[in-house]
Amino acid sequence: MMLIPAIDLKDGKCVRLRQGEMEQVTRYSDDPVAMAEHWQSLGARYLHVVDLDGAVTGIPKHLSHIEAITKRLTIPMQVGGGIRNTSTIRAYLSCGVDRVVIGTAALQDAEFLAAAAKEFPSKVLIGIDVKQGLVAVHGWKTVSSLTPQQVFESVKDLPLG
């Protein structure tokens, strides 16, 4: 088993949201690179980073922080948060990110997901949030009628990571 530490970025800071609420923030560090190095020093073999501002806007807001992290770490990392087009995926992969995690867009735009998986085989993951047995989207705000099993079945033939 591999435990993957996560760093959530909001306004350039490392934070944790309370129940997914953007207004209920606990700040853990003002230095995302130092936090990433801390996790690596503790033996992490992989890192998960979420651009919370990008998740809200649909535009990467922390690409410079993420690129700085990739330049300092020797472990791979994956990034999620607001990835809604292949140009964003390309930008993350170009700056050294190992894989990207697509959430809501993967569930709402099957054509985008298929195109991304085809263009970037094994570099695209799907992030599935589950609330009361059903898949939640839009940062846990909307619960769909899909079960995780239905989502798995619909993507099983894609070259996902």
Query: What DSSP character marks residue 86?
Result: H
Using DSSP, state whether 142 is helix, strand or coil.
strand
Displacement of CA 134 from its chain's centroid (Å): 20
Instruction: Tell me whether residue 129 is one of the annotated catalytic residues.
Output: yes
Q: What is the DSSP string of 18-80?
A: ETTEEEEEEEEES-HHHHHHHHHHTT-S-EEEEEHHHHHHSS-S-HHHHHHHHHH-SS-EEEE
Report the relative pairing of strands 134-137 and 142-143 from DSSP bridges.
antiparallel
Residue type, 97: V
Instruction: Tell me whether residue 51 is one of the annotated catalytic residues.
Output: no
Q: Which of 8, 30, 109, 157 is catalytic?
A: 8
Q: Which of 31, 53, 129, 157 is catalytic?
A: 129
Using DSSP, state whether 116 is helix, strand or coil.
helix
CA 88/CA 46 separation, integer angstroms: 21
Q: Which residues does the annotation mark as catalytic?
A: 8, 129
